[in-house]
Amino acid sequence: MASRSEVHPIAGAADVVKVRQVARSWALELKLSLVDQTKLVTAASELARNTLDHGHGGTMRVEQVENGLRRGIKLTFEDKGPGIPDIAMALRDGYTTSGGLGLGLSGSRRLVNEFDIKSEVGRGTIVAITRWK
């Protein structure tokens, strides 16, 4: 079944706030538990920051997805930035190229049910996450 989706730009700090609000409102609409809402919003916040800071801006697509009887919220972050040369390394706790904590990617992965990352050096990065109800 086709479901609704929206695409939001991530071009500045205010967009990171907006993306958090959008993730929260879709999670609320699906009636995710408060804990699951917070997990999704926290992951969205980290990934939106990465899209902005490392990917030089991009977009977040939000959609409600279904798998049999299960419904969930899927968020897809896409940028056309420099890409990630070594994804396995970038996913390690503490790995950072920017003096951050290096917990954004690894932490968001732990907060969701599905985490998919594709990246090509010189072309950009796509990170898709899903939290199931």
Ligand X SMILES: Nc1ncnc2c1ncn2[C@@H]1O[C@H](COP(=O)(O)OP(=O)(O)OP(=O)(O)O)[C@@H](O)[C@H]1O
Spell out where the chain has E strands: 5-10, 58-67, 70-79, 114-120, 124-132
Residue 130 binds what, of Mg ion, ligand X, none (CB under 5 to 8 Å, by partner type)?
none
Name residue, tokens 């902005």.
52
Indicate the burial class of 53 (C-beta count within 10 angstroms; 0-12, 13-18, 19 or more).
middle
Going by C-alpha positions, the residue among 55, 103, 100 that lies closest to residue 80 is 55
- Taking CB under 5 A as the criterion, the residue among 36, 41, 50, 73 binding Mg ion is 50
The residue count of the chain comes to 133
Q: Is 59 in the site for ligand X (CB under 6 A)?
A: no
Number of residues this chain uses to bind ligand X (CB under 6 A): 23
Residue 72 binds what, of ligand X, Mg ion, none (CB under 5 to 8 Å, by partner type)?
none
Binding mask 88-127 for ligand X (x = CB under 6 A): --x----xxxx-xxxxxxx------------------x--
- Interaction site with ligand X (CB under 6 A): 46, 50-51, 54-55, 79, 81-84, 90, 95-98, 100-106, 125
